[in-house]
């Protein structure tokens, strides 16, 4: 018997209670209680408030007598027994740490205190097999389902998670006094992009972390401009603030991975005077699973995942990386898209495959592609009835991306709406036909865009005279399908300088 | 007093160094307000009370505070 | 009281830092904001004299009431016209 010495018989105690201590800086630190050891052998976790637990009381007696069973009660200290083989899990530490979800749960515990097997609810054959004791529960019903464990009761779950789970969180605890509005206090600390943020309490951050199987301390990326190592926990804190739900967290993590590397060059995207930010396109099964919007108003407001995932990435860059407007962020004009820009591709309705599959990923993989882009510009064509007309018109709109005289150095993303895409699909065009035809249309006669032509100083050097120059480099135009069923509009998202001196789009897999 | 902390906090947010003057009576309130705002606004304390002071006494109090005010506003 | 987790790199203190200070007040414009409590004006009269002797310009402002933060237009005006501000005198 592992019962510890205590004034209160039958109570499991913790070495350190959950005490709140205040250090010299006035910041709060929480110490975590240690888990009392489980007794060796057979253990039943029960609560008085569960009819099945009360039903099997005679069986528990029997098992104690014949197999040395220990009972751990979650509510009633002695489970009506006042016996030394009945222990009280008074702070639910054992139940929480051993992930007890149902009572009764029968456990088999090794001499090291490790659970080697378990079974839940009451089932005579299962209990007999589990315990190796025959003829259990004479006169009882064969089977009765268990009840919810107190440790997973919504009334206690958050408190327990903070009490026992917060030790794994390493972020500085900051106390916001009750005198002041929480939002004002967070704004004053410089943590917000200007919109309200959700206070990242320990309970909220722990809930957020349930969205990933990663360890909170795992370093995900080195975030510019301050080049700070960013853990899963810091991403979770900022995801809470942005308004994400836990199931969005893997997307946010992948977005941080996709952005913070030499190819995407988040530092440059931030520091440039061009008004670009990370534009996120989510592909694969996760988009539907987290109910992202790829249809009507996909690039707009109103969908929580679309609105908060991009913002969470930007808050990570702001808060962890230290990338703030007016400091390292030198965008001349900025753009509403810099608050956060994220949407999903409408893959179900696209016979052309997706942006991700065009970049070599499988359709069963979930990915996020990050592109350094501005706010979307709408392209209107309501008259083209065949693909030839529409592609020429589209090419004219794409020609002016950045400026009509900016060739090859800038990428773009084209978001084709369903009705525009149907013009091509209905005529039997595939993605390759579309890209090839568009490439043809976007070969520009250099004479038109030489420096000085038409009295405009900007342009190609005169050495480029007499050539056909493509508007975009190979793979410099990213085509995505999204939008509502009705409306002959598409969107063009202008990029930033491409290549080693600028930013290349990056696709990263989203994993749990 | 707490409104002075707000004012200085706001003006500092607009790029203007600021300091406010209060009597020692409010020392703990200043500290509480600063902590809750997440901003330690510069403050200079004078003796308490002041409402019954003569002009000469007020001038003396101002002279005493002046060096601290300059210090709070300069690097 | 709410405890939140610091979302930043924690390279700086959790509290906001003060705005950078000038080397001296000479040649700067200092706003004197009177919170409208009795005797505060006498205090500020003397501060004004002393600032003048340091070579600073002074602009005087008076809050409509000490019980509320200064109105946004007044804060804007101070930020537009002044290089630093002294607010007095709360008792």
Task: Kindly write down the DSSP assignment for every residue of A425-484, as one continuous string.
Answer: HTTT--HHHHHHHHHHHTEEEGGGGBTTGGG-S-SB-GGGTT-EEESS-TT-EEEEE-S-
* Distance (Å) from the alpha carbon of A87 to chain B's nearest alpha carbon: 44
Nearest CA in chain C to B12: C19
Asked if A175 lies within 8 A of C3 by C-beta distance, the reply is yes
**Which range is most confident: A13-27, A71-85, A283-297, C31-45?**
A283-297
Please give the backbone phi and psi of residue A389, each rounded to the nearest 5 degrees, phi first: -65, -45
Chain segment A303-315, per-residue pLDDT in tens = 999 999 999 999 9
Q: What is the CA radius of gyration of chain A?
A: 30
Whether C11 maps to a domain, the answer reads no
Whether C71 maps to a domain, the answer reads yes
Asked if A200 lies within 8 A of C9 by C-beta distance, the reply is no
Asked if A171 lies within 8 A of C10 by C-beta distance, the reply is yes
Kindly report the number of other CB atoms within 10 A of residue C71's CB atom: 12
> Is B33 near chain A, with CB under 8 Å?
yes
A contact test, residue of C8, C12, C18 with most A CBs within 10 A: C8
* Distance (Å) from the alpha carbon of A319 to chain C's nearest alpha carbon: 4
User: 């999903």: which residue's tokens?
Assistant: A344
Asked if C5 lies within 8 A of A205 by C-beta distance, the reply is yes
* Distance (Å) from the alpha carbon of A330 to chain C's nearest alpha carbon: 20
Predicted local confidence at residue A105, as pLDDT: 97
User: 């080049």: which residue's tokens?
Assistant: A227
Instruction: List, in order, residues 6 or more apart from A350 with CB less than 8 Å away.
Output: A421, A481
Whether C51 maps to a domain, the answer reads yes
Instruction: Report the distance separating Cα A163 and Cα A12, nearest Å.
Output: 17
Helices (H), A75-153: 93-97, 124-131
User: 């209107």: which residue's tokens?
Assistant: A380
Asked if C39 lies within 8 A of B25 by C-beta distance, the reply is no
3-state SS assignment for residue A345: coil
> Is C19 near chain A, with CB under 8 Å?
no
**What are the sequence ranges of the domains in chain A?**
20-166, 183-449+462-509
Question: In chain B, how many domains are there?
Answer: 1
The kind and range of the H/E element at A228 are: strand A228-231
Q: State yes or no: cis peptide before A322, omega within 30 of 0.
A: no
Instruction: Report the distance separating Cα A388 and Cα A373, nearest Å.
Output: 28
> Is C73 near chain B, with CB under 8 Å?
no
- Separation of CA A398 from chain center: 33
3-state SS assignment for residue A282: strand
What residues pair up with A102 in beta bridges, in sequence order? A148
User: 């308490």: which residue's tokens?
Assistant: B48
Classify strands C2-5 and B42-46 as parallel, antiparallel or unpaired: unpaired
Please give the backbone phi and psi of residue A378, each rounded to the nearest 5 degrees, phi first: -85, 135
Helices (H), A193-282: 202-209, 232-242, 249-259, 266-271
Q: Does the interface ipTM go beyond 0.85? A: yes
Asked if C10 lies within 8 A of A238 by C-beta distance, the reply is no
Tokens representing residue A223 in the block: 């975030």
pLDDT band at A25, cuts 50/70/90? very low
Tokens representing residue A10 in the block: 């039958």
Per 3-state DSSP, what percentage of chain C is helix, strand, and coil (rounded to 5)?
Answer: 25, 25, 45
> Is B29 near chain A, with CB under 8 Å?
no
Q: Are A329 and A475 in contact (CB under 8 A)?
A: no
Mean pLDDT value across residues A72-76: 94
Instruction: Report the distance separating Cα A310 and Cα A369, nearest Å.
Output: 12
Of B2, B32, B36, the CB nearest to A185: B36
3-state SS assignment for residue A93: helix
Please give the backbone phi and psi of residue A147, each rounded to the nearest 5 degrees, phi first: -115, 170
Whether C8 maps to a domain, the answer reads no
User: 């809050």: which residue's tokens?
Assistant: C63
Instruction: Report the distance separating Cα B8 and Cα C75, nearest Å.
Output: 9
> Is C90 near chain B, with CB under 8 Å?
yes
Architecture of the domain defined by A20-166: 3-Layer(aba) Sandwich (3.40)
Tell me which residue range forms the domain holding C44. 29-88
User: 């009761």: which residue's tokens?
Assistant: A153
Tokens representing residue C25 in the block: 């007040």
* Whole-prediction pTM: 0.79
Mean pLDDT value across residues A67-93: 90
Chain segment C14-63, per-residue pLDDT in tens = 777 889 999 999 999 999 999 988 889 999 999 999 999 999 999 999 99
Predicted local confidence at residue A8, as pLDDT: 39
Tell me which residue range forms the domain holding B32. 2-73
Whether C38 maps to a domain, the answer reads yes
User: 């402002």: which residue's tokens?
Assistant: C61
Nearest CA in chain C to B23: C91
Instruction: Report whether pLDDT(A206) > 50.
Output: yes
3-state SS assignment for residue A66: helix
More confident call, A26 vs A267: A267
């Amino acid at each position: 018997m592992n019962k510890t010495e205590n004034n209160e018989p039958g109570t499991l105690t913790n070495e350190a209670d959950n005490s709140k201590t205040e250090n010299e800086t006035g910041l709060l630190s929480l110490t975590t209680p240690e888990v009392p050891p489980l007794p060796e052998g057979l253990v039943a976790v029960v609560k008085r408030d569960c009819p099945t637990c009360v039903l099997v009381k005679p069986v528990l007696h029997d098992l104690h007598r014949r197999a040395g069973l220990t009972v751990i009660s979650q509510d009633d200290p002695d489970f009506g027994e006042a016996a030394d083989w009945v222990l009280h899990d008074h702070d639910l530490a054992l139940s929480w740490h051993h992930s007890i979800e149902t009572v009764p749960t029968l456990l088999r515990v090794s001499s090291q205190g490790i659970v080697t097997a378990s079974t839940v609810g009451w089932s005579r054959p299962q209990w007999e097999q589990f315990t190796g004791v025959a003829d259990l529960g004479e006169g009882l019903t064969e089977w009765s389902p268990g009840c919810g464990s107190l440790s997973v009761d919504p009334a206690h779950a958050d408190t327990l998670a903070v009490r026992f789970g917060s030790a794994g969180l390493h972020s500085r605890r900051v106390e916001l006094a009750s005198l002041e509005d929480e939002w004002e206090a967070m704004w004053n600390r410089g943590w917000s992009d200007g919109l309200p943020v959700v206070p990242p309490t320990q309970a909220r951050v722990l809930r957020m972390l349930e969205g990933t199987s990663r360890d909170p301390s795992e370093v995900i990326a080195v975030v510019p401009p301050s080049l700070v190592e960013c853990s899963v926990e810091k991403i979770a804190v900022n995801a809470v603030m942005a308004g994400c739900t836990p199931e969005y967290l893997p997307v946010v993590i992948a977005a941080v991975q996709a952005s913070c590397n030499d190819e995407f060059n988040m530092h440059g995207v931030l520091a440039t005077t061009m008004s670009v930010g990370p534009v996120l396109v989510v592909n694969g099964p996760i988009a539907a699973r987290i109910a992202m919007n790829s249809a009507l108003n996909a690039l707009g407001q109103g969908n929580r995942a679309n609105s908060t995932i991009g913002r969470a990435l930007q808050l990570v860059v702001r808060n962890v990386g230290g990338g703030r407007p007016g400091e390292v962020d030198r965008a001349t004009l900025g753009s509403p898209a810099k608050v956060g820009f994220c949407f999903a591709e409408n893959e179900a309705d696209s016979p052309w495959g997706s942006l991700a599959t065009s970049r070599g990923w499988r359709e069963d993989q979930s990915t996020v592609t990050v592109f350094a882009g501005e706010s979307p510009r709408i392209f209107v064509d309501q008259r083209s009835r065949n693909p030839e007309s529409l592609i020429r018109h589209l090419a004219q709109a794409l020609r002016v991306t950045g400026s009509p005289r900016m060739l090859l150095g800038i990428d773009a993303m084209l978001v084709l709406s369903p009705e525009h895409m149907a013009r091509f699909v209905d005529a039997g065009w595939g993605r390759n036909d579309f890209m090839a035809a568009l490439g043809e249309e976007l070969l520009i006669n250099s004479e038109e865009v030489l420096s000085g032509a038409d009295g405009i100083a900007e342009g190609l050097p005169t050495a480029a005279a007499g050539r056909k120059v493509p508007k975009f480099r190979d793979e410099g135009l990213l085509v995505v399908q999204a939008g509502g069923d009705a409306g002959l509009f598409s969107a063009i998202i202008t990029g930033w300088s491409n290549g080693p001196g600028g930013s290349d789009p990056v696709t990263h897999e989203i994993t749990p | 007093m707490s409104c002075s902390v707000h004012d200085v906090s706001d003006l500092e947010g607009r790029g203007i160094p600021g300091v406010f003057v209060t009597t020692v009576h409010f020392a703990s309130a200043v500290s509480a307000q600063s902590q809750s705002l997440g901003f330690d606004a510069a403050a200079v304390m004078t003796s308490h009370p002041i409402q019954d002071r003569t002009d000469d006494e007020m001038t003396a109090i101002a002279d005493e505070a002046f060096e601290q005010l300059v210090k709070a506003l300069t690097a | 009281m709410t405890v939140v987790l610091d979302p930043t790199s924690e390279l700086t203190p959790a509290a906001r830092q003060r705005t950078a200070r000038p080397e001296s007040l000479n040649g700067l414009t200092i706003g004197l904001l009177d919170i409208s409590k009795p005797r505060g004006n006498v205090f500020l009269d003397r501060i004004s004299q002393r600032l003048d002797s340091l070579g600073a310009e002074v602009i005087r402002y008076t809050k409509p009431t000490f019980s509320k933060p200064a109105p946004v237009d007044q804060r804007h005006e101070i930020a537009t016209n002044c290089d630093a501000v002294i607010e007095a005198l709360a008792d």
